[in-house]
Amino acid sequence: MVKPTLMDVAAAAGVSYATADRVLNRRGGVAEKSVLRVLAAIEQLGYTRDVTAANLARGRSYNYAFLIPAQAGTFFGEMRAAVKAEAKARASQRINIMIEEVPAFNSDGLAEVLESYIDRDLSGICLVAIDSPRVRKAIQALRAKDVFVLTLVADTQSDSRDAYIGLDNLAAGRTAGRVLSLASRDGGVVLPIAGSLDATDHALRFKGFKQAITFDVTVLPVIESFDRPENVADAVRSTLEAHPNLTGIYSIGSGQNGLFAALSEVQKSVTYQRPVVVLHDLVGSVRTALTIGLVDAVIDQKPDQQIARALDAMKALSDGETLPPDFGTIVPSLYFQDNMPPAPADGPEKGPSL
């Protein structure tokens, strides 16, 4: 009942360990019939290689790097924390993870860091892509050196990386639309605020949003805030003035502080019911706003899950597996005050025990 070893396989196949090993590791120079017998034995015994022992013998360890934009207090902050947590958790399994801060919104800065990684002994690298010729070239150079390249959150051209892990933005937008439609069942007016529709993620969210809006709900023209809090606040204020009957707001991008400011003004004057507010990413201030009921629903892209998924993907690729088609698709989560996950804490402590 114990797990069979390659020795057992060899014995069952009636060959030597060496031959079984040659088959398993495709070293060649084995007669057809022996190959078959070994494979049959593997099949019959249900043998699976003990990967940990194999890695030990090979002296192999997995080195991965994560390039996370330096942008404090945002979604990327959570992401960094998640990477750190995973790094700690997997340290004892021969998985080494490096975290590097890269300047935000700066393709040359990103490219520079990428280029600096070309000669480190890496198995995989994970980055939030900013498309530019230089970045693309750096990625190609890495892949040419057998480094797996995954994009996270933001993608490049799909043929220039090995996988993309990121939110299904269309689904996210549709979810937002669904919530606001439900909340405006007898007709209503809703306001979408995006950062910029030139950003593909925002554009996709907006598209999904419109898809899910039911016919009797009016969607006001989308406002582009360029993620500046003042712009968001102004937009909300002036819209509320023009449409006192506003039933919903969908904040597609960032600049949430402006949103909160404008909303708390409304909350004080109780003359009308405040619109239902849906926004993105359950981070710091958003969490607070949801808790105190300043906003109603948050669509989250689960940074921790994305990191875990990315690592699983890189490990699988390193082990020569292929990823299922939509492995990287992150389904948006919808959180109310009521089903908010606990704020991320540090993982379980462990001493150097047993």
Partner DNA sequence: CATTTTTTGATAGACGTCTATCATTTTGAG
Partner DNA sequence: CTCAAAATGATAGACGTCTATCAAAAAATG
Smallest separation (angstroms) from its own copies to the CB of 103: 25
By beta-carbon proximity to its own copies, the closer residue of 223 and 290 is 290
Question: Could you tell me if 172 and 146 are in contact, meaning their C-beta atoms sit under 8 angstroms apart?
Answer: no
E strands of the chain, at which residues? Answer: 62-70, 95-103, 124-127, 148-152, 163-167, 188-194, 217-219, 223-224, 248-251, 276-280, 297-300, 329-330, 333-335
Letter for the amino acid at 203? A
Question: Whole-number minimum distance, CB 35 to DNA, in Å?
Answer: 7
Number of residues that bind DNA (CB under 7 A): 29
**Nearer to DNA (CB atom), residue 265 or residue 321:** 321
Residue 289: strand, helix, or coil: helix
Measured from the CB atom, is 186 or 241 closer to its own copies? 186
350 sits near DNA (criterion: CB under 7 A): no
Least distance CB 251 / its own copies (angstroms): 17
CA distance 131 to 341: 33
Q: Are 320 and 156 in contact (CB under 8 A)?
A: no
Q: Are 165 and 309 in contact (CB under 8 A)?
A: yes
- Note the residues at the interface with its own copies (CB under 8 A): 3, 24-26, 39, 42, 47-53, 55-56, 61, 91-94, 96, 168, 171-172, 174-175, 177-179, 182-186, 208, 212, 247, 273, 276, 296, 316, 319-324, 326-327, 329, 331-342, 345, 347-350, 352-354
Q: Which does 336 bind (CB under 5 to 8 A by kind): its own copies, DNA, none?
A: its own copies
The residues that touch DNA, with contacts defined as CB under 7 A, are 2-3, 5-7, 14-19, 21-22, 24-25, 29-31, 33-34, 47, 49-50, 53-54, 56-59
